[in-house]
Amino acid sequence: MATEHAIRVEALTKSYGDLEVLRGVDLAVARGSITALLGANGAGKTTLVRILATLLRADAGVATVGGADVAGEPARVREAISLTGQFAAVDEVLTGRENLVLVARLRHVEARGLGKPAAVASALLERFGLTDAADRRVGTYSGGMRRRLDIAMSLIGDPPVVFLDEPTTGLDPQARNEVWDAVRTLAAGGTTVLLTTQYLEEAEQLAHQIAILHEGRIIVDGTLAEVKALMPPATVEYVEKQPSLEEIFLAVTGAGAGAPAPQGGEQR
């Protein structure tokens, strides 16, 4: 039933010339869940997200978001979604606050009774720890700050479905942890999140459901436990545990408090 799933994809295909990027993708994403779409570079993750976000038309197949067909009712889909692309889509010339106010105006928050654009912007700046930098041009922001602003912009107007396309690619570990926290906060508020990633660890950390996209098809789809059950049985090896550069970084900068410790000498 449409009400159970925020996103439904059936037999979706997309080719660029001779290159078949999607060869029949099936996927269902439960309302309020975090689903990780895992795949290597070029697996078609971004293509799938762009189709779901109504930026690209599929060749065949059906995709619905929030009950609306992406090809038939794109305007209704756009009411239900927000997209955070692979490269932080923020306006570098404007300040952080101006970026948020801009999107708040375009989402008509005031007419929808969600507050004045300026108030919405202030609340999000506070929530994402950007208040101090609010009136600086985004061009001066660090990568992590940009990505946080980008995600904050995606939350304006409380869209029920949020697409995050490789939200942590190119971020340092501290910034990555900040983004992870932001995603968890989102899902805790009932938002459905579909995020794409190349990293199994990211999927493990965040997702209720993991779908692996490979050569244009979803080859594995299930909960973390179900996906793990498919892995070859663990063999126990004893390895001297060297701290990873990441652990050293987090220890030295003192930024690791509360962050999940990455496994250095795990079982393989």
User: Which residues are at the interface with another protein (CB under 8 A)?
Assistant: 50, 53-57, 75, 78-79, 81-83, 85-94, 98, 102-103, 105-108, 137, 153
In degrees, to the nearest 5, what angle opens at C-alpha 153 toward C-alphas 149 and 156? 140
Q: Cβ 77 to another protein, closest distance in Å?
A: 9
In three-state form (DSSP H/G/I as H, E/B as E, the rest C), the secondary structure along 51-88 is HHCCCCCCCEEEEEECCEECCCCHHHHHHHEEEECCCC
Closer residue to another protein (CB): 27 or 65: 65
Q: Cβ 120 to another protein, closest distance in Å?
A: 14
Closer residue to another protein (CB): 85 or 173: 85
Q: Cβ 90 to another protein, closest distance in Å?
A: 7
- CA–CA separation, 228 vs 222, rounded Å? 9
Closer residue to another protein (CB): 87 or 263: 87
- CA–CA separation, 93 vs 90, rounded Å? 9
Q: Which two tokens stand for residue 158?
A: 């409380």
- CA–CA separation, 199 vs 53, rounded Å? 22
| Half-sphere exposure at residue 78, Cβ-oriented, CA atoms within 13 angstroms | 10
Q: Cβ 199 to another protein, closest distance in Å?
A: 21
In three-state form (DSSP H/G/I as H, E/B as E, the rest C), the secondary structure along 111-150 is CCCCCCHHHHHHHHHHHCCCCCCCCCEHHHCCHHHHHHHH
Closer residue to another protein (CB): 55 or 62: 55
Closer residue to another protein (CB): 102 or 224: 102
Q: Cβ 39 to another protein, closest distance in Å?
A: 20
Q: Cβ 79 to another protein, closest distance in Å?
A: 5
Amino acid 114 reads: L
Closer residue to another protein (CB): 165 or 178: 165
Phi/psi at 194 (nearest 5 deg)? -115, 115
